[in-house]
Structure 1
Amino acid sequence: MKDYFFSVFKTNPLEMKGLNGIRGIAFFMVIYTHMFRPYKYFGFHEPNVWIENFLNNGSLCMDAFFVLSGYLIGGQLLKEKIKTNSINYGNFITKRVLRIFPPYYIFLTFQFIIIYNLSKFATDELVKTESLQLLKRVVWDYAYMSDYFAGIMIHGWSLSVEEKFYILLPILLFLILKLKQKNQILFSLSILVILPTIFRLIQFLQISPENLSFWTYSVTFYYPFHSRMDGLFLGVLVAAIQIYYPEKIDKFLKDRNSIYFVLLSLVTLLSIMFFTSEDRPDLFTCVFRFLFASLAWSIILIKTLDEKSWTAKVLSVPIFSPVAKLSYCAYIIHLLCLGFLSKKFIGYHKIHYYEIIIWTIPIGVIILGYAYLYYLMTEKPFLALRNRLLNKK
């Protein structure tokens, strides 16, 4: 019983601690970006384009999440294939379904019930009408298609992207791993990394500048799976290089100059955050931003594999471990929590930018507290069930 409640706070020896740090930082980037965006409608004292870009572009966290997912899931499947000469798709599906589905579908159904009751019992006719419209869209959330069709869970698009990846990856690896040469396997994965950039460029060239708005950018470039899979497959490619050519990774990590690649990656991420705008999307933002950000996160990920490096030491701070474990549940519930926490601690009115910055960690920690309770109710029981089922096999 004690383990049930406190295992999330214990560091597992098998954890890749540096990855916890990346995931933890990405979580707080989600918080400050989604905290910031509603305040654009209230306005800011002393408006500053660079600061607004920085706060808005915390969305680069999604590239980090995608690279991590690709690296971890791809690495597991590749190692299993090498070890057993096969991939147990039943086990893979069991692992994914029992971890991902319960928190997602329970929260989605909770939203559905609230909206359904509003459509039936709200006294305001406008609320009733809008609720009925939302109910028509919930099917896209249940089908994990909200990256292509708007659902009721605004942030569910990224979960839809990852779900498609989980379905597609085993099939693609089954085909790719039929290739005999290691370099052929890596080349095939590289094509999957490059394809989304080609898709985005083709789409960009078909849109006239006057029609290129934030909404167009979001639904055409930012949300869809085919446009965002480069980060996921880049993570798989990194895992494949580590597995098939470990000496190349070791050589990179032992090279003193590798720290400059990390610094270049940080400069790349910060440059994108300060100097590009999703509100005013251009060629770089629509076509190349996701690939550059994913490459930067990938280099940082690789550097964390050297536990003696400063990169790994900073990102392996123990506090990141529970944050990483709770990040999935926290992501699912964070917008609901931000709705009342922002109002309580900041208020909905014209504010200063620093108010977003200073409240990011406190509000993020409170959301993690709620996520812990949600984790105990919706994720932990099914993780225990998953472990029992897999151990029986």
Structure 2
Amino acid sequence: MVSQRNLLLDVFRGLAIFLVLLRHGALTAITTRMGWIGVDLFFVLSGFLVSGLLFREYAANGSLRAGRFLLRRAFKIYPLFYAVVVIYLFYNWWKGVSVTTGSVLAELFFFQNYHPGIIGISWSLAIEEHFYLLLALVLTLAATRGYLKGRIVPVVCILIMLLCLTGRALTNAWLPFSPYTHFFPTHLRIDSLTAGVLLSWYYHYRYEATKTFARRYYPALLIVVAAGLLPAFLMEAENEFILVPGFTLLYVAFGAALAIGLIFQWRIERILAATRLKGLYRALAFIGRYSYAIYLVHMLAGPAISNFINQYFFRGDLPVISVFLLKTAANIGTGILLTWLIEKPALGWRDRYFPAPVLKPSASHV
């Protein structure tokens, strides 16, 4: 059962943001090469968690309130995001960096995955915003017609995955590489979030079958995880293999890892409790709680703070590992600060004026 604050899911969030920090941390060639996969882990997690909110509501009440769902997501995403946009605008003004109207509009209206914005990494947020709208529309329509618990949802998910894979193959064959045509577009990357929806549907509506499958075939699932992640360690993100089947292998791997984690969570945590890895597990979970804010600021806060400290206190003599640790600490600290100053108050207002749906007693798994 997925609780509102599940420690394992926070660990996955913490792992995802740490991978992203490695991508931009200039630590080693291999960590820079493979760290981008943290974004795809975020995608699978978002698909699983956000669709799970709707699946639980329907399982309990037999209906969905898409408007309230989207409004509550807006309170989660927008206050902190727009605050960071303002911070970036102020920083660019202070540094004398010109900002175009188009880049600002791309950020404000979430099409920065098709047109350059000012934050640089917010293209992934645009994909998630588009996903939320599509998810609310499709699942509400399915719920209205009584299809939500039927197999039409997995069929639609698989269809979206195949369409995205086909789209990536055609794009790679016809167009010269650009992040805005091959890597960032929603219509080519939304399948990673859809994979999370597919896992969520089985977890919520076919839990016993999912548990039986995971327990019976977990050695094969572990092989799937390893095989799906391997290409990202060996190839650059712009490699043709990564750009077409690589993305598919990646979300399959992360979906398998998430399924294993959810089904065997109590065993994993019991084993870790008896080892020194327990502290690392809880540290990742703690960082995962602040992963959204850390992600938003990590391209600005870490470099700016670490460069200032390195230049004025160490005269630029710090080794690479020390600079990375300084950046990481600065990013985590800034993320925690912004979470408490902006995100948590916004969520408090949300829960006060637009509370989550009351779930009636249900025989459903969740």
TM-score (norm 2): 0.85
Provide structure 2 residue ranges, at least 5 long, that are not aligned to the other structure. Answer: 358-366
Question: Conserved in 2, the CA contact under 8 Å of 1:140 and 1:146?
Answer: yes
Runs (4+) off by over 6 Å: 349-352
Does residue 261 (structure 1) correspond to residue 238 (structure 2)? The answer is: no
Residue 24 of structure 1: CA displacement?
Answer: 0.5
Amino acid corresponding to residue 188 of structure 2 in structure 1:
S
Question: Conserved in 1, the CA contact under 8 Å of 2:80 and 2:293?
Answer: yes
Residue 83 of structure 1: CA displacement?
Answer: 1.8
Question: Conserved in 1, the CA contact under 8 Å of 2:305 and 2:327?
Answer: yes
Question: 1:299-318 residue pairs with structure 2 within 5 A?
Answer: 299-305=256-262, 306-310=264-268, 317-318=281-282
- Hey, what's the Cα distance between the residues in 2 that align with 1:19 and 1:227? 26
Partner SS for 2:282: coil
Map of 1:193 onto structure 2? 161
Aligned pairs, how many? 345
- Hey, what's the Cα distance between the residues in 2 that align with 1:248 and 1:392? 29
Map of 1:66 onto structure 2? 43
Question: 1:148-297 residue pairs with structure 2 within 5 A?
Answer: 148-177=114-143, 178=145, 180=147, 182-207=150-175, 211-212=176-177, 216=178, 218-255=179-216, 257-269=217-229, 271-279=230-238, 281-282=239-240, 284-297=241-254
Residue 88 of structure 1: CA displacement?
Answer: 1.3
Does residue 147 (structure 1) correspond to residue 107 (structure 2)? The answer is: no
- Hey, what's the Cα distance between the residues in 2 that align with 1:24 and 1:252? 27
- Hey, what's the Cα distance between the residues in 1 that align with 2:164 and 2:186? 9
Partner SS for 1:182: coil
Residue 112 of structure 1: CA displacement?
Answer: 2.4
- Hey, what's the Cα distance between the residues in 2 that align with 1:237 and 1:182? 12
- Hey, what's the Cα distance between the residues in 2 that align with 1:112 and 1:54? 30
- Hey, what's the Cα distance between the residues in 2 that align with 1:345 and 1:259? 47
- Hey, what's the Cα distance between the residues in 1 that align with 2:53 and 2:341? 27
Partner residue of 1:343 out of 307, 316, 322: 307
Map of 1:100 onto structure 2? 77
TM-score (norm 1): 0.79
Question: Conserved in 1, the CA contact under 8 Å of 2:113 and 2:124?
Answer: yes
- Hey, what's the Cα distance between the residues in 1 that align with 2:349 and 2:102? 33
Question: Conserved in 2, the CA contact under 8 Å of 1:18 and 1:313?
Answer: no
Residue 385 of structure 1: CA displacement?
Answer: 0.6
Map of 1:6 onto structure 2? none
Question: Conserved in 1, the CA contact under 8 Å of 2:13 and 2:285?
Answer: no
Does residue 82 (structure 1) correspond to residue 43 (structure 2)? The answer is: no
- Hey, what's the Cα distance between the residues in 1 that align with 2:43 and 2:111? 17
Map of 2:364 onto structure 1? none
Question: Conserved in 1, the CA contact under 8 Å of 2:131 and 2:193?
Answer: yes
- Hey, what's the Cα distance between the residues in 1 that align with 2:168 and 2:236? 17
Residue 392 of structure 1: CA displacement?
Answer: 9.6
Question: Conserved in 2, the CA contact under 8 Å of 1:28 and 1:361?
Answer: no
Question: Conserved in 1, the CA contact under 8 Å of 2:168 and 2:188?
Answer: yes
Question: Conserved in 2, the CA contact under 8 Å of 1:53 and 1:273?
Answer: no
Residue 312 of structure 1: CA displacement?
Answer: 8.7
Map of 2:9 onto structure 1? 19
Does residue 298 (structure 1) correspond to residue 275 (structure 2)? The answer is: no
Question: Conserved in 2, the CA contact under 8 Å of 1:66 and 1:162?
Answer: yes
Does residue 320 (structure 1) correspond to residue 280 (structure 2)? The answer is: no
Partner SS for 2:132: helix
Provide structure 1 residue ranges, at least 5 long, that are not aligned to the other structure. Answer: 1-11, 40-50
**Structure 1 residues 292 and 345: CA distance shift in structure 2, 3 A:** farther
Question: Conserved in 1, the CA contact under 8 Å of 2:297 and 2:335?
Answer: yes
Residue 136 of structure 1: CA displacement?
Answer: 3.9
**Between 226-235 and 309-318, the greater mean CA deviation after superposition:** 309-318
**Structure 1 residues 310 and 17: CA distance shift in structure 2, 3 A:** same
Partner SS for 1:239: helix
- Hey, what's the Cα distance between the residues in 1 that align with 2:54 and 2:38? 24
- Hey, what's the Cα distance between the residues in 1 that align with 2:304 and 2:244? 35
- Hey, what's the Cα distance between the residues in 2 that align with 1:388 and 1:241? 32
Identity %: 24
Map of 1:7 onto structure 2? none
**Structure 1 residues 259 and 15: CA distance shift in structure 2, 3 A:** farther
Map of 1:30 onto structure 2? 20
